[in-house]
């Protein structure tokens, strides 16, 4: 197996943690499968304890409707007031459960140029983000998942973070 599903519901690999993409090959070859990987989360609850919106309702069970990623990417209406102050500056998606996972101490930063942060964006202030135009948004995020939330959604998310 490639790994095991952690208590945060992400696939974990002993050598590289849970920060990776999965691909699939469809072949006409007879291959011998390897066996399943044991669960190595043990008694650890770091991901559960760290989730600021309590989206990990039980080990291995995530209530997606409580997850910051849902609120900042998928939700199209207003973000509920009861989660205000819990986003820890996440304006698009969230990796808190992965950031605290001890298996990710083995994770290495990727070197893929397509995933590197566009340098001018690193210097953006909250005001810069609030004033970004539709044209700039489309240009900067044309090949990015950020376009899923659209400019209006990104502005909503940034406004929700407060000052």
Longest dimension (CA), the chain: 58
Helix, strand, or coil here: 17?
strand
| Per-residue confidence band for 108, with pLDDT thresholds at 50, 70 and 90 | confident
pLDDT number for residue 74: 95
Radius of gyration of the chain measured on its C-alpha atoms = 18
More confident residue, 1 or 63: 63
> At 127, is the secondary structure helix, strand, or coil?
helix
Does the pLDDT value for residue 139 go beyond 90?
Answer: no
pLDDT band of 123, cuts 50, 70, 90: confident
Q: What is the rounded distance in angstroms from the CA atom of residue 55 to the CA atom of residue 34?
A: 32
Which pTM value belongs to this model?
Answer: 0.87
Structure tokens at 95: 């990796």
pLDDT for 129 equals 82
Looking at 20-34, 58-72, 121-135, which range is the least confident one? 121-135
């Amino acid at each position: 197996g490639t790994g095991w599903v952690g208590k945060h519901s992400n696939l974990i690999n002993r050598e590289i943690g849970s920060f990776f993409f999965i691909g699939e090959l469809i072949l006409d070859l007879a291959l011998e499968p390897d066996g399943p990987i044991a669960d190595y989360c043990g008694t650890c609850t770091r991901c559960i304890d760290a989730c600021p919106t309590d989206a990990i309702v039980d080990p291995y069970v995530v209530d997606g409707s409580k997850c910051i990623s849902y609120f900042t990417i998928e939700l199209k209406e207003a973000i509920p007031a009861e989660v205000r102050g819990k986003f820890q500056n996440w304006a698009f998606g969230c990796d808190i459960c992965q950031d605290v996972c001890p298996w990710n101490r083995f994770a290495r930063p990727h070197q893929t140029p397509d995933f590197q942060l566009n340098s001018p964006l690193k210097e953006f202030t909250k005001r810069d983000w609030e004033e970004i135009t539709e044209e700039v948004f489309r240009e900067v995020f044309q090949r990015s998942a950020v376009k899923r939330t659209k400019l209006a959604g990104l502005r909503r998310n940034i406004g929700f973070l407060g000052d």
